[in-house]
A and B are shown apart, each in its own frame.
Chain A
Amino acid sequence: MTSTPLQTSHPADLTPPPSGASTPQSSSGIRRFLASAERRRVLYAFAAAIALFAIGEIVRPGFGSFAGIRAVLVVASFVGLVAAGQFFVILIGGIDLSVPWVLNAAAILVVTSSLGRNAWAVPAGLLTLAMGTMIGALNGVGVGVAVLGVPAVVMTLAMNGILEGLTGGLTCSSCAAYAPPVIQAAVHHPFFGIPAVLFFWAIVIAVVSVVLSLTTFGRATYAIGSNPRASFLAGLPVRAITIGLYALSGFFSALAGITLVGFGGQAALGMGDPYLFQSIAAVVIGGVYILGGRGHYIGVVAGSISLVALVSVLMAVDMPEYGRNIIYGVVILVLLLLYGREAPEA
């Protein structure tokens, strides 16, 4: 370590530190943990999930059983993967509306490029992930480069439309219609009675959390979400990180597309549509600050689980789809109203 200006002695003629300046650290760790609004919200989201399982068990016995919970978690893992990408861009105050057709294009691409053969599954998967990442990066270029400066809503919505057109126009109806069996097995194969996709999700949770809390990339992401101008003036590569985050969103949408065809076996046009709303909902329910700068992936995980649990409960009471959509919308609005009300600045 070179000698820093801080290690030189301080002139003695300055004000003495006033007595009692250093307040003792506040009491218990739990209290301090809960002092942060977004941590409280993570707990609320988990509590909501547990409550929903309890309600489900009441309206339809077996809902809260091991098999019932497992079924909910598997569906939640797809939402959670898409929401991971959505979460990254919302952290810098952005949004990715191209999720549905990136996911859909990925699902179709992995099926057609592998021709449903096991031998081609890996290259097809890599190709698909590269495609998703590249489309995401393009979104990032449009949003993050000052000369273009396209608002995120416009950029990603346009991208969604372009992909919808491309996918519809280029899909070959005579090509292979089924995902390679190895990809299907990678989703379904149980270990200790738990499908592989849940282990995979656990790994994603760990990696995303580590990236955000322990790397300089993660810290820079929160910084840019808090104040992009100040981050730029502190020398952070705001543009590159913006592009990187949108690329990650594209990557996770493509990943979700691959796991979804692995789960269902087949790709279909329109299969990505529910995931736009669900991914944003999971992020909001998980307590992520919608204008950027604050939030944790574990909250998004809780949000995904409680969202899917909510849908399942509604289905268990035979609520039709339009009713479920209304309830989604109301839940999000109420949460945004509640969470938006906390005091903005100290």
Chain B
Amino acid sequence: MTDAGHAALAGAPFIEGIGLSRAYGGVRALHNASLAVLPGEVHALVGENGAGKSTLIKVLGGRVRPDSGEIRLRGTSVSFSGPEAAHRVGVQTVFQELTLLPSLTVAENLFLSREPRSRLTHLIDRRAMGRRAEELLTGMGIDHIDPLAAVEDISLSERQLVEIVRAISHEPDILFLDEPTSSLVEREVVWLFEQIRRLRARGTAMVFTSHRWNEVRSIADRITVFRNGGDVGTFTDISEDDAVSLMTGRHVETLYPPVPALTASAPIALETHHLASAHLHDVSLQLHAGEILGVGGLAGHGHRALFFTLFGADRATSGTITVAGKQVSIRSPHDAMKRGVGIALVPEDRKTEGLLLRMSVRDNMTLAILRGRLSRMGFLRRAEEKRLSSDLSRQLRIKTAGPHIAVGSLSGGNQQKVLLGRWLLAEPRILLLYDVTRGVDVSTKAEIYALIHRLAAEGKAILFYSSDAEELAHLTHRVLVMREGRIAAALEGNAITAEAIVSAAVRDTSPASGRGTHAA
């Protein structure tokens, strides 16, 4: 695109979707949706899970063909046979599902199908590829990802960064980003927004989705609200309250309910002394019955190790765990779930670590009590299973066509409820909740918050990790901030703010250590 071209097109949409519809099976994912993206604008799509944002991006990015409707590119009607066809006309998309090939290196992924060739042999020039990948990454301010590392060996957030870098490296005219920030930590989000501003200055049009309102507010030029598969309005200025009521038909003030009061005399439910494992060093903490203890900090600083060690999924190398005053030995999740211990872990990655996607909603709900109260002499108590699972669906308002439906066909929010429900059935005393609201829409978030508060009020002890500092600040009684596998700070009462959590997480981190310093 030349500058003259920009001038000519200013005001006219770069890409336009008109009356797009798309159904999967009997479900209308997108219904008569329209969107116009102007050159050099950052356009946010907001809406609940299942409102059609991702489907619209898939359609405009060439990944999915619409059942009806029209796509216009610079005023000309187009139809994409696949993402490659979209790439050829300058449309790049970072899809929600990561598309990197796990066993290839970062460099190989970045230059996939456009590998630098040796002039002599025309074979792939691996040295040049590594060098150019390094230049590309450092040129965008990322110096902590090794271009020669296999993608499967780098963290989820690093993969997301590589995915974004790859899309930007094609110098697109239009860049779609579907929930780019959901697996990023604060610093990486700052980095991403710098890239977005830089591209905007160059005239690139960008469309992104996010469930975090402060991100939308800080970067978007225009906001389009989606509901039930269609757009309900595009705004240059809209308050969160108004946006949420458009998205859901309700108001935002109920999102964070007041934290339930903590009884001073509540007994200690869980205590650790100098607990250590592979990525965890000398962690001593106390968790009281009825308490919501937040855990925060940058990704990769030992939160996961803490949760998985407490649950017996990682092996503790030293230190002790005490439950209700008694020292316990937890060497497997089975030990953690035993009567007298009663620990439950809801893991972060529900698709790989939580759910059996092909199995039914009911099978998934009752998995943790399968060998407990659902078993009579090794036989399944099927009537009891039916009753428990339908009660649970009702209580948690899980939207499904029936308990026999494969859980993989549910929306993200409902999948998360199924997983939470599984652990409620196990009647734990201590709940370890690891980033349970990630990728979940506002309504479901509100329901999960209310559920957590209700459980705390009933005397359950809750350890709550979140990558969202705002959420930690609003939901918890105390917050422990972790850094390099240790507890770096403890915040209480009015000292708990999102800013305090973030600053405690990054304090003293030397720039040389590399982690999260790519904004340099």
Residues of A within 8 A of B (CB): 2, 4-8, 10-11, 13-15, 17-18, 21-23, 25-26, 214-217, 219-220, 222-223, 226-227, 229-237, 293-294, 345-346
Known contacts A13-B254, A14-B450, A226-B358; A233 and B353 CB within 8 A of each other = yes
A237 touches B458 (CB 8 A): no
Q: Given the complex of chains A and B, what is the CA–CA distance between A13 and B447 in angstroms? A: 9
Name B308's closest neighbour in chain A (CB-CB). Answer: A233
Interface residue from B257, B353, B443, B458 paired with A5 (Cβ < 8 Å) = B458
How far, in whole Å, are A17 and B248 apart by their CA atoms in the complex?
12
Contact B371 A14 (CB under 8 A): no
Known: A21-B399, A216-B370. A4 touches B424 (CB 8 A): yes
Contacts of A233 in B (CB 8 A): 311, 313, 333, 345, 347, 353-354
Q: Please, which residue of chain B has its CB at the minimum distance from the CB of A2?
A: B427
**Given A26-B401, A216-B370, A345-B357, 13 other A-B residues pairs in contact with their CB atoms under 8 A:** A5-B460, A15-B447, A214-B379, A223-B363, A226-B359, A230-B355, A230-B367, A233-B311, A234-B333, A235-B371, A236-B371, A293-B358, A346-B357
Q: For B357, what are the chain A residues with a Cβ–Cβ distance below 8 Å?
A: 226-227, 345-346
Q: List 21 A-B contacts (CB under 8 A).
A: A5-B460, A11-B450, A11-B454, A13-B254, A14-B447, A15-B250, A15-B447, A215-B378, A215-B380, A219-B370, A222-B356, A223-B370, A227-B356, A232-B333, A233-B313, A233-B345, A234-B367, A234-B422, A235-B337, A294-B358, A345-B358
B327 contacts A by Cβ under 8 Å: no
Of the candidate stretches B3-11, B133-141, B402-410, the one touching chain A is: B402-410
Q: Is the CB of B368 within 8 A of A17?
A: no
A5-B447 contact in complex given A23-B401, A214-B380, C-beta closer than 8 Å = no
Residue in B353, B358, B409, B446 whose beta carbon sits within 8 Å of that of A14 in the complex: B446
What sequence of 0s and 1s flags, for each residue 404-437 of chain B, a beta carbon within 8 Å of any chain A beta carbon? 0010110000000000001011010000000000
Cβ–Cβ contact B370 & A5, under 8 A: no
Q: Smallest distance from the beta carbon of B114 to chain A beta carbons, Å?
A: 28
Whether, in the assembled complex, B397 has its beta carbon less than 8 Å from a beta carbon of chain A, the answer is yes
Contact A234 B368 (CB under 8 A): yes
Query: Nearest Cβ distance between residue B167 and chain A, in whole angstroms?
Result: 24
- The minimal Cβ–Cβ distance linking A144 to chain B, given in whole angstroms, is 14
Residue of B nearest to A217 (CB): B378
For chain B residues 207-264, which have a beta carbon within 8 Å of chain A?
248, 250, 254, 257
List, in ascending order, chain B residues with CB within 8 A of A2's CB. 427
B353 contacts A6, C-beta separation under 8 Å: no
- On chain B, the residues within 8 Å of A293 by CB distance are 356, 358-359
A5 closest partner in B (C-beta) = B424
Q: Residue B367 contacts which of A7, A26, A231 (CB distance < 8 angstroms)?
A: A231
- Closest A residue, CB atoms, query B248: A15
Q: How many A-B residue pairs have CB under 8 A?
A: 131
Central interface residue in A6, A222, A231, A294, by most chain B CB within 10 Å? A6
Pair A231/B356 contact, Cβ less than 8 Å? yes
CB neighbours (8 Å) of B450 from chain A are: 11, 13-14
Are A223 and B367 neighbours in the complex by a CB distance under 8 Å?
yes
Chain B residues within CB distance 8 Å of chain A: 248, 250, 254, 257, 311, 313, 332-334, 336-337, 345, 347, 352-359, 363, 367-368, 370-371, 374-375, 378-380, 382, 391-392, 395, 397, 399, 401-402, 406, 408-409, 422, 424-425, 427, 443, 446-447, 450, 454-455, 458, 460
B446 touches A15 (CB 8 A): yes
Tell me the nearest residue of chain B to A222, going by C-beta. B359
Chain B residues near A10: list those with CB within 8 A: 395
Taking the nearest CB of chain B, how far is it from the CB of A202, in angstroms?
21
A214 to chain B, nearest CB (A): 6
A58 to B399, CA, bound (A): 54
Given the known interface contacts A15-B447, A233-B345, A233-B353, the answer about A6 and B392 at a Cβ–Cβ threshold of 8 Å is yes
Docked Cα-Cα span, A235 to B432, in Å, equals 14
| Nearest-CB residue, chain A, relative to B375 | A216
- 6 A-B pairs with the lowest CB-CB distances in the bound complex, closest first: A346-B409, A226-B356, A234-B367, A23-B401, A346-B408, A235-B337
Contact B455 A5 (CB under 8 A): yes
Do A230 and B352 touch across chains, with their CB atoms under 8 A apart?
yes
Instruction: Give bound CA distance, A26 to B401, whole Å.
Output: 9
Q: Which residue of B lies closest to A213 (CB)?
A: B380
* A293 nearest CB across to chain B (Å): 6
- What is the minimal beta-carbon distance from A194 to any residue of chain B, in angstroms? 31
- Contact residues in A for B401 (Cβ distance below 8 Å): 22-23, 25-26
- What is the chain A residue whose CB lies nearest that of B249? A15
Kindly list chain A residues whose C-beta atoms are within 8 Å of the C-beta of B356: 222-223, 226-227, 230-231, 293
| A205 and B509 alpha carbons, distance in the complex (Å) | 63
Interface centre among A214, A217, A346 (most CB of B within 10 A): A346
Q: Is the CB of A346 within 8 A of B406?
A: yes
A346: B residues at CB distance < 8 A: 357, 406, 408-409
* List of B residues within 8 angstroms of A219 by Cβ: 363, 370, 380
Whether A8 lies near B454 (C-beta < 8 A) is: yes
Contacts of B371 in A (CB 8 A): 216, 220, 235-237
Closest Cβ of chain A to B158, distance in Å, is 21
Residues of A within 8 A of B337 (CB): 235
Name the residue on B nearest A6 (C-beta). Answer: B395
Tell me, rounded to whole Å, the shortest Cβ–Cβ distance linking A18 to chain B: 8
Name B334's contact: one of A11, A13, A217, A235 (CB within 8 Å): A235
* Contact (Cβ within 8 A) B378 A229: no
Among A13, A14, A220, A233, residue most surrounded by chain B Cβ atoms (within 10 Å): A233
Point out the residues of chain B lying under 8 angstroms from A13, CB to CB. Answer: 254, 257, 450
